[in-house]
């Protein structure tokens, strides 16, 4: 598959698999020794780091986030305009805050590819998404009765 074909494949398959809430299929896009980084990792897995190493840890995370996604058409962060940037190694696209339907979590996906597999994946959150993370963290502290993060 030509390099741009690999980027197109990952771009389309990532979106299709997350939209259908298939964490197992999402994990198949990653190399066995892939790295994943996101501020969502410590929130979802209740750990003190924001990265995962290896497909099996990434798989666990992806299964959990797809399980937690709201049902129906209330899927945050899934509108994108079909545009991506690829330099032969790095694939980048945005889920913008402002969509035709209103606001969504604003994210930028940055993936380093090795053929059609994701070798390194970083997720950058915008101001709207960051506020969402903070609100959820504070709510969790209140529910858990904790006094410090």
Interval 29-87: pLDDT, tens: 999 999 999 999 998 998 999 999 999 999 999 999 998 876 655 555 689 999 999 99
Could you report the per-residue pLDDT of 101-116, keeping only the tens digit for each?
Answer: 888 989 999 999 999 9
What would the two tokens of residue 108 be?
């930028």
* Closest to 36 measured CA to CA, from 64, 67, 3, 69: 64
Q: E strands along the chain, which residues?
A: 30-37, 51-53, 85-86, 90-95, 98-99, 102-103, 107-114, 117-125
pLDDT at position 1: 47
Overall size of the chain counted in residues: 149
Q: Which residues pair with 112 in a beta bridge?
A: 90, 120
Cα–Cα distances (Å) from 96 to 40, 41, 100, 105, in that order, read 17, 21, 10, 7
Q: Which residues pair with 30 in a beta bridge?
A: 118
Instruction: Give the confidence band of 146 by pLDDT, cuts at 50, 70, 90.
Output: low
In this prediction the pTM is 0.86
pLDDT at position 127: 93
132 pLDDT higher than 90: no
141 pLDDT higher than 90: no
């Amino acid at each position: 598959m030509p390099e741009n074909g690999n980027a197109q494949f990952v771009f389309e398959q990532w979106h299709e698999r997350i939209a259908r809430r298939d964490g197992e299929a999402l994990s198949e896009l990653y190399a066995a020794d892939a790295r994943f980084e996101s501020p969502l990792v410590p929130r979802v897995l209740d750990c003190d780091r924001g990265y995962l190493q290896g497909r099996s840890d990434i798989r666990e995370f992806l299964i959990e986030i797809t399980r937690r996604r709201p049902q129906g058409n209330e899927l945050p962060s899934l509108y994108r305009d079909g545009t991506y940037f690829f330099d032969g190694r790095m694939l980048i696209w945005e889920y913008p805050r402002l969509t035709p339907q209103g606001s969504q979590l604003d994210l930028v996906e940055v993936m380093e590819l090795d053929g059609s597999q994701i070798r390194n994946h970083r997720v950058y959150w915008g101001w709207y998404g960051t506020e969402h993370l903070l609100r959820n963290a504070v709510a969790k502290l209140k529910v858990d009765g904790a006094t410090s993060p």
